[in-house]
C-alpha cells in the first residue's frame, strides 16, 4: 500500500477519510490536502499540509508532494503514518478485515498480528461509492473468524451497491459449520465467490503446509457445504518446494472429488512475512517448475476446468501457457526490475525494454528476493 510518514498534530486516534483538495464543508468524510490550513475548517476529519500546523485542528504535515490521488481513502494513525486503504483508480481494492488467522501457512506473506480491522473497514465503506469497483475483495488473516462482523460488512455492501461482485479469500475451514454457510447464502443482491487454498491431494501434506493439523478435512467439508448451497468456489494453489511435483495429482483430486469448483488459480509466491522466514525450506524458482506448471495447466484444460496462472512473470513460465498467465499482482505492490536488483546490484537488462511488459504480472515489490532467471523479451 502507498504510505508516507507525516508529522501529526492533534491526532489521538486512527482517522479514515477521503483525500480531496476541495474544502466542501458538507462532506464529513474528507481529508483535505492543501498548502496551509484554511480559515474555514468546519467538518473535515483532518488536513494534510506542507507547513507545521499550529492549531487545535487535526492535521498532519508532509514534507513531500502528496502521493495520494483525489478520491483515495487513507488512514492516519496518531504517529502520523498515512496509508492508502482504498485507491479510487485501482481494480485490486480489498477490505483487509483482520490480522487474525487459525492457520499458520509456512509461505504466508502476512506478518503475524492480533488485530481485527472490521470496524475500520466499515468506516472505509462509508467513504466510498463502489460505482467504479466492479470487483472487490475481502481478505486477511482469516475473515470468517468473526462471522457476525463478516455478515455485517457484506449486508452493508449489498445495501450500498446491489449486485456488487465480492471475492472472499478464506482458508474455508470455518465453513464446516453449515449454519455459517447458510447465513452467507441468505445475503441477496450481492455476487459472492470464495477463493480457498488446497495445497495437496493428501491431508498430511496440506496440513504441514498450513501448519494446522486437521485443516485439510475441515477445508474439504467446508467446500462441500458451500457446494450444497450452490456458492461459487475458486481453488487457489500456491506453488512451493513441498508441492510443485504434486500439481498434476492435485488436479486429478479436484476433478475426481470437487466437480463443483468453478475456477483454479495457480499462484507464485510472495517472499514476505513467513515466506521470508522459511525461505530456505520452501523456495523453488518458478523457472525450475516450468514443466510441472505446464503439465498441471494442461491437465485442468483437459478436464474442462477454468484455470489461470497468477504472480509469475512471463519470462519464467513455459511459453505454451502464456495465454493463461494473468497480470495479477495488486497495483500497489507490483514492480519491474528496471534499475537494480533488490540487493543493490546493477542489472545487465531492464524490464522496461521487454516487449511483453504490458501483459506481464511483474514481480512483488514486497518480496525480499527475485528469480535470477528474470529477463526481457527483446
Q: Please tell me the predicted confidence (pLDDT) of residue 259.
A: 97
User: Does position 1 have pLDDT exceeding 60, yes or no?
Assistant: yes
Angle of CA points 202, 106, 75, to nearest 5°: 130
* 365 compared with 142, residue with greater pLDDT: 142
Task: Return left, alpha or beta for 273; rule: phi > 0 is left, psi -120 to 50 is alpha, else beta.
Answer: left
Residues 6 or more apart from 358 whose CB is under 8 A from it? none
Cα(355)–Cα(376) distance, rounded to whole angstroms? 7
Domain boundaries, the chain: 3-85, 94-329
How much of the chain exceeds pLDDT 70, in percent? 90
pLDDT digits (tens, 9 = 90+) for 327-342: 887 877 888 987 554 5
pLDDT band at 233 (very low <50, low <70, confident <90, very high): very high
Q: Please tell me the predicted confidence (pLDDT) of residue 29.
A: 67
User: Does position 203 have pLDDT exceeding 60, yes or no?
Assistant: yes
User: Does position 348 have pLDDT exceeding 60, yes or no?
Assistant: no
Cell numbers standing for residue 347: 542489472
Domains 3-85 and 94-329 share a fold: no
Q: Is residue 81 within a helix (H) or strand (E), and if so which, with residue range?
A: strand 81-86
Residues 218-234, mean pLDDT to the nearest whole number: 98
pLDDT digits (tens, 9 = 90+) for 8-42: 888 888 888 888 877 665 566 677 777 677 666 66
- The arrangement of secondary structure in 3-85, i.e. its CATH architecture, is 3-Layer(bba) Sandwich (3.50)
Residues 6 or more apart from 41 whose CB is under 8 A from it? 47, 55, 57
Mean pLDDT of the chain: 89
Among the four given CATH numbers 3.40.50.10880, 3.20.20.60, 3.20.20.70, 3.40.50.720, the one describing domain 94-329: 3.20.20.70
pLDDT digits (tens, 9 = 90+) for 157-182: 999 988 899 999 999 999 999 999 99
Strands 164-169 and 135-139: parallel
pLDDT digits (tens, 9 = 90+) for 275-284: 999 999 999 9
Least confident of 69-73, 122-126, 145-149, 257-261: 69-73
pLDDT band at 68 (very low <50, low <70, confident <90, very high): confident
Q: Please tell me the predicted confidence (pLDDT) of residue 13.
A: 85
Q: Please tell me the predicted confidence (pLDDT) of residue 23.
A: 65
User: Does position 56 have pLDDT exceeding 80, yes or no?
Assistant: no
pLDDT digits (tens, 9 = 90+) for 286-301: 999 999 999 999 999 9
Amino acid at each position: 500500500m502507498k504510505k508516507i510518514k507525516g508529522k501529526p498534530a492533534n491526532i489521538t486516534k486512527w482517522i479514515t477519510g477521503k483525500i480531496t483538495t476541495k474544502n466542501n464543508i458538507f462532506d464529513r468524510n474528507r481529508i483535505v490536502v492543501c498548502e496551509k490550513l484554511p480559515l474555514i475548517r468546519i467538518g473535515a476529519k483532518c488536513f494534510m499540509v506542507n507547513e507545521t500546523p499550529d492549531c487545535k485542528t487535526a492535521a498532519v504535515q508532509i514534507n513531500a508532494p502528496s502521493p495520494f490521488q483525489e478520491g483515495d481513502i487513507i488512514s492516519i494513525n496518531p504517529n502520523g503514518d498515512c496509508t492508502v486503504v482504498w485507491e479510487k483508480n485501482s481494480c485490486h481494492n480489498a477490505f483487509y478485515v483482520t490480522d487474525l488467522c487459525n492457520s499458520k501457512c509456512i509461505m504466508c506473506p502476512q506478518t503475524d498480528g492480533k488485530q481485527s480491522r472490521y470496524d475500520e473497514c466499515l468506516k472505509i465503506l462509508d467513504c466510498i461509492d463502489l460505482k467504479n469497483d466492479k470487483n472487490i475483495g475481502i481478505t486477511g488473516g482469516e475473515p470468517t473468524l468473526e462471522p457476525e462482523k463478516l455478515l455485517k460488512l457484506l449486508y452493508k455492501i449489498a445495501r450500498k451497491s446491489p449486485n456488487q461482485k465480492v471475492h472472499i479469500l478464506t482458508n474455508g475451514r470455518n465453513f464446516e459449520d453449515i449454519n455459517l454457510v447458510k447465513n452467507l447464502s441468505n445475503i441477496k443482491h450481492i455476487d459472492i465467490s470464495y477463493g480457498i487454498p488446497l495445497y495437496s491431494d493428501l491431508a498430511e501434506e496440506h496440513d504441514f503446509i498450513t501448519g494446522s493439523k486437521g485443516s485439510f478435512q475441515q477445508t474439504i467439508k467446508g467446500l462441500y457445504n458451500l457446494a450444497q448451497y450452490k456458492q461459487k468456489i475458486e481453488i487457489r494453489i500456491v506453488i512451493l518446494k513441498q508441492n510443485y511435483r504434486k500439481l498434476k495429482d492435485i488436479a486429478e483430486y479436484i476433478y475426481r472429488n470437487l466437480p463443483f469448483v468453478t475456477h483454479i488459480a495457480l499462484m507464485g509466491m510472495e517472499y514476505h512475512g513467513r515466506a521470508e522466514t522459511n525461505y530456505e525450506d520452501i523456495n523453488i524458482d518458478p523457472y525450475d517448475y516450468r514443466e510441472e506448471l505446464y503439465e498441471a495447466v494442461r491437465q485442468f484444460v483437459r478436464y474442462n476446468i477454468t484455470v489461470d496462472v497468477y504472480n509469475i512473470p512471463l519470462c519464467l513460465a513455459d511459453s505454451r501457457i502464456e495465454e493463461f498467465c494473468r497480470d495479477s499482482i495488486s497495483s500497489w505492490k507490483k514492480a519491474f526490475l528496471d534499475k537494480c536488483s533488490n540487493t543493490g546490484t546493477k542489472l545487465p537488462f531492464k524490464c522496461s525494454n521487454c516487449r511483453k511488459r504490458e501483459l506481464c504480472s511483474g514481480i512483488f515489490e514486497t518480496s525480499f528476493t527475485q528469480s535470477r532467471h528474470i529477463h526481457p523479451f527483446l
